[in-house]
Amino acid sequence: MPSKPQKNGHTKDAARPARLAVRRSIVDVIREHTDVAEPRFFNRDLSWLEFNRRVLAQAEDTSLPLLDRVRFLVIFTGNLDEFFMKRVAMLRRLVNTNDQRTGPDGLKPRDHLAAVRASVLELQEHQANIYEKQLLPALLAANIAPVEYTTLNEREQRWIDEWYRVNVFPALTPLAVDPSHRFPFISNLSDNIAIMGLLEGQSRELHLARVKVPANIKRYVELPGASGQPRRFVALADIISNNLDQIFPGVTIKEHLHFRVTRSSGLQYDDKSPREQDVLESIENELKQRRFAKAIRLECHPDPSAQLLRQLVDKLNLDPADVYERQGPIDYMGLADIADLDIAALKTPRYKPAIPARLTADKGREIFGCIRKQDILVHHPYESFEHSVERFIAEAAADPDVLTIKQTLYRTSPDSPFIASLVRAAESGKQVACLVEVRARFDEQRNVKFVRQLQRAGVHVAYGVLGLKTHSKISLVVRKEKQGLRCYAHIGTGNYHPKTAQLYTDLGLLTCDPILTGDLVNLFNYLTGLGVAQKYDSLLIAPFNMRSRFNEFIDQEIEFAKAKAAAVAANAPGAADMPGGRIIAKINSMEDQKIAARLYEASQAGVRITLIVRGFCCIRPGVPGLSENINVRSVVGRFLEHSRIFHFGAGQTDPIEGEWFIGSADWMYRNLNDRVECITPVRDPVARGRLQHVVDVMLADRRTAWDLTSDGSYVRSMPPPDADPNSPAALGTFETLMRHAQGKA
């Protein structure tokens, strides 16, 4: 860690907001800032911060390997960075324009932003405590020691200084701030050191300068040491801070400050242009401007001088409330160097996905024959993405009987096998169409590159529908067979991204069902052509029929619940055994007010509603008279829960006989109104049984599950003392499903 900057003897300053680090429930925050006594909805951003709290809790879970816990500190930080770039930037814009509109929770933007700040400060303090009081001692006990430069002996400092002189010093660029030097541009999420110094032989006026910590050099430098001794690491910023005299010769440095700046990620591209090239050019131009977007956060160590802090705040055009002073490392992302250490005993063993049984039963059989035999549900990363979804597109590209391949790409890897397969298919004479969503946030530049690569190969590339993002995860293959043309499809919940398929849990359906594939033909025609949206017989497609179909299913469950209640009230024979109404949704986020209102209505009618929501959830469960029949839980752990599953009881006692769906949409306004999303029914009984098993495991989990309370906080589930050690309650969701996929359950 860098040494603490010198204090400059101040108490309060306009550029120094009071620190607040008290945890409060979402309901208490809403009650404080509004006249709403019983909120119907939780605040989206405060709920998201509660999700990140659950991520942070993994870092203090002593049942996890040590370097995994360090990794969760890094993940927590990356999540928070993105939250500031997207959500806090939006809130800051609303406050700066004096927007007085209230959200569904009743909070105005200024109160909303203040509540977010208070929560972030409390989380930052908790993160620092975990690092300093739990992880640092544990690392030392494991012979891994992040140390400060000033604790090294003279010989060790000489070694570090020489390493710095050779490997770092030539790459540094000190930038002064004075009448002849403008304040330097501070890039997003960069690591920086500011100094206040006196020039030799000049007046007592302090001068400001800044040096950027190089981004392409490891954040932690390992000291040489004898075998068996602790491995010691010094932070790069700490090394630079203790060699500032070499960077600023002839300057008496009075103070230095390690700081980090976050900028908005918003793009204002023109997606209404009738020319495709204009859309690409607009996005590329805006990407160039993104790096110069407004600063929205300054992170620094506590207690910089009033003069230095005021200069940074003024030069960056920040509000005092945008300053976040924090203990511990300023750049927790740098701890990835520690988490990446190759020490197998301190990490969870790498999981090797199983090859789906239905794709191995007929060895040597091409994948289309397997799909013709029966629909295939694949569950990643438990089952191999490479040997199912990648194989599907690769075989289609190589198969001489395949005439056409169509696919949507929202995010994919830099070396994407899907891009390679589509290129090969086009070059072999197949008709290939690919919808690349060039507006996928943070992937815009990569996707523009893919567009040009695909176009050079002769692929027909579309950017989707003007005004809508295409978030669907769909592929369609048209194959010539003896009986005529047959369509095969993959409909998934996650991106066609081999890297994230190893880290995110997602589901996909491989099918040749003519009704489903017929709907996909119509959907692709809509996405790439000029026609209006068609009627869809089975698929739920946003923004067309998805919301109305969900409403129909909810209405259906309300009627079943009312029928049971009436039968029970009349003491009808068998009334107690009637299934009533049942809704289960496993999603990433729950925010749509209209869906929430319908679920409240269903709860009041007696429908049993279970929501498994990984991230933020705006619905308030367990409120008498409103939502006492709604239960919400979240599962956080080894993999990122990303799959979406929807179940409606449909009057059936056996859940497998009810309605089951998977797809790309969450219950959010943007998914239902502003994106092209695709959700498919799952009709195969075996596939339905697998979905039921996934849900059952997550509901039985007492290891990695958290339950949402009516005040907006989450309570961690704990396995009972007498739990079977091989049960989902004891193992948790991820270990149970890994064992099941490997045939060990």
Nearest to 442 by CA among 556, 297, 580, 287: 287
Q: Specify which residues 383 forms β-bridges with.
A: 354
C-alpha distance from residue 639 to each of 103, 533, 646, 709, 733 (Å) = 32, 36, 20, 24, 10
C-alpha distance from residue 534 to each of 486, 490, 512 (Å) = 20, 20, 20
Residue 675 neighbours by CB distance under 10 Å: 24
Quick one: DSSP state of residue 502?
G
**From CA 410, how far away is CA 403, in angstroms rounded?**
24
The DSSP bridge pattern shows strands 376-380 and 323-325 to be unpaired
**From CA 635, how far away is CA 588, in angstroms rounded?**
10
**From CA 313, how far away is CA 323, in angstroms rounded?**
8
The DSSP bridge pattern shows strands 714-716 and 207-212 to be unpaired
Q: In what side-by-side order are the strands of the sheet with 323-325?
A: 175-177, 207-212, 191-199, 251-263, 295-300, 323-325
- Which run of H or E residues covers position 37? none
**From CA 632, how far away is CA 162, in angstroms rounded?**
56
Q: Specify which residues 704 forms β-bridges with.
A: none
Give SS3 for 586.
strand
Q: How far is CA 625 from the centre of its chain?
A: 34
Give SS3 for 157.
helix
Convert 626-665 to b/e letters by CB count within 10 Å (16 or more is b). bbebbbbbbbbbbbbbbbbbbbbbbbeeebeebbbbbbbb
The token pair that represents 144 in the structure block:
């891994």
Kindly give, in sequence order, each residue whose CB lies less than 8 Å from that of residue 96, ignoring residues fewer than 6 positions away: none
3-state helix/strand/coil string of 289-353: HHCCCCEEEEEECCCCCHHHHHHHHHHCCCCHHHEEECCCCCCHHHHHHHHCCCCHHHCCCCCCC
**From CA 120, how far away is CA 715, in angstroms rounded?**
19
User: Does 471 qualify as catalytic in the annotation?
Assistant: yes
Q: Catalytic residue, from 471, 490, 497, 740: name it.
A: 471
Terminal-to-terminal C-alpha distance of the chain: 45
The DSSP bridge pattern shows strands 251-263 and 295-300 to be antiparallel
Give SS3 for 6.
coil
Catalytic residues: 471
